Amino acid sequence: MKKLFAFLFIILIIYVVYFDLTVGTLPSTRTQQVNAKVETITKPAAADADIPSFKAKVNPGETVISIVEHQIKKTLPVSITELIEDFRKLNPGQTPEKIQIGSTYHFPDYSK
């Protein structure tokens, strides 16, 4: 009898882990529409940077990667390290980890 309960318990654990990894257990009842105001510019923000860029206002829940991917309408074509370096060149003194909601920054434009 103990073996049967142990077997059923193991099956239950396997099912719970499978369900958690495939479907998840946290419901996502609300979706958030993100409308970024984007302005394309031809001149980079930093005088020494020759990176094509655009200006965008940061909305809640956005990151540097999500803003750039939304602008170019595809996945990021460069490494994250290169994106961080380009962001820092375009916005001297700013780090991508500490962008502020409601602030406008220059982002590298990799659409070409």
In a domain, 7, yes or no: no
For residue 6, being part of any structural domain is answered with no
> What's the structural domain count of the chain?
1
Give the predicted TM-score (pTM) of the model: 0.56
Domain annotation covers residue 54: yes
CB 53 within 8 A of CB 88: no
3 state SS of 102: coil
**Residue 88, C-beta contacts closer than 8 angstroms, at least 6 positions apart:** 94, 95, 96
**Per-residue confidence of the chain (112 residues) as pLDDT tens digits?**
899 999 999 999 999 998 888 887 666 665 555 565 655 554 444 444 588 889 999 999 999 999 999 999 888 899 999 999 999 999 999 889 889 999 999 999 988 7
Residue 75 counted as domain residue: yes
Q: Which domain holds residue 85?
A: 38-108
3-state secondary structure of 9: helix
